[in-house]
Amino acid sequence: MINAAGISLIKSFEGCKLTAYQDSAGVWTIGWGTTGRAGLGIDPAEGMTITQAEADHWFEKGVNKFAAEIAPLITAPINANEMAAFTSLAYNIGTTAFAKSSALRHFNAGDKMAAAEAIQLWNKAGGKVLNGLVRRRSAEVALFLTPVPPEPAPQRASISQSKTVQASAVQIASAGTAGVGAFAALDGTAQIVALVIAGVIGLAALFIIRERVKAWASGWR
């Protein structure tokens, strides 16, 4: 399934009718723009009615089908909004037409602006420009060109997962090991100096851990 923005876009332009009707091109349609040409297993005809649950089922099946069919045709890196816009286009014009479109060709060539302009060419039905299609293509282009924000960094479930705390713990352990080693390998003044250095390192690490714990308690992850 494509992202929520894409789902909302398609539904806003398709609308939902539970009784079969003929679209602007004379094709029998039902639910959220579902036609027999989609190859979903339902062939709307005059007098046919379905429930809202059935309409939603055919819509989800249709969106997934078109997204799956166009995915192999796309050879350039694509983000969620671009994929949603392309799926909306394919849902409206069909996979075959999308596969032959200049929008796809420009996108695969790395020219996204040319691809966006090419989307808007699909504004006709029966050889006539339709205002509804002009608006839909404009909405698809707007979604296509909308940047996708980066994924937020996952929050740590425990303070023990903090890299800072982990590193400080290692420092404390190393300082302890150094202190023990001082007694074994050194004597006199050298031993005292080694112990002082180890103590300073350990205290610094403890301070870092204390500050990190305070930050965790205040909600910073």
- CA distance readout (Å), 215 to 154, 208, 218: 17, 11, 5
Per-residue burial over 100-138, b = 16 or more CB atoms within 10 Å of its CB, e = otherwise:
ebebbebbeeeeeeebbebbeebbebeeeeeeebeebbe
Give the percent of the chain with pLDDT over 70.
Answer: 70
Residue 178 pLDDT? 57
Active site residue 14: yes
Q: In sequence order, which ranges of 15-160 are alpha helices (DSSP H)? A: 52-70, 80-93, 95-99, 102-108, 112-119, 131-144
Residue 102: is its pLDDT beyond 90? Answer: yes
> What is the rounded distance in angstroms from the CA atom of residue 127 to the CA atom of residue 123?
9
For residue 170 the two structure tokens come to 């290692």
Residue with tokens 């989800």: 60
For residue 196 the two structure tokens come to 């002082």
Count of C-beta atoms within a 10 Å radius of residue 23? 13
Closest by Cα among 67, 72, 105 to 88: 67
Contact 195, 179 (CB under 8 A): yes
Contact 49, 19 (CB under 8 A): yes
Closest by Cα among 38, 29, 12 to 97: 38
Residue 75 pLDDT? 98
Minimum mean pLDDT range among 55-69, 114-128, 189-203: 189-203
Give the percent of the chain with pLDDT over 90.
Answer: 63
Residue 70: is its pLDDT beyond 70? Answer: yes
Active site residue 140: no
173 versus 125: which is more confidently predicted?
A: 125
Residues contacting 110, CB < 8 A, separation 6+: 76
Residue 116 pLDDT? 98
> What is the rounded distance in angstroms from the CA atom of residue 21 to the CA atom of residue 194?
88
Residue 72 pLDDT? 98
Minimum mean pLDDT range among 27-41, 76-90, 181-195, 207-221: 181-195
152 versus 187: which is more confidently predicted?
A: 152
pLDDT tens digits for range 72-95: 999 999 999 999 999 999 999 999
Marked catalytic residue, from 23, 60, 187, 211: 23
Residue 150 pLDDT? 81
Residue with tokens 């979903």: 40
17 φ/ψ angles, rounded to the nearest 5 degrees: -125, 125
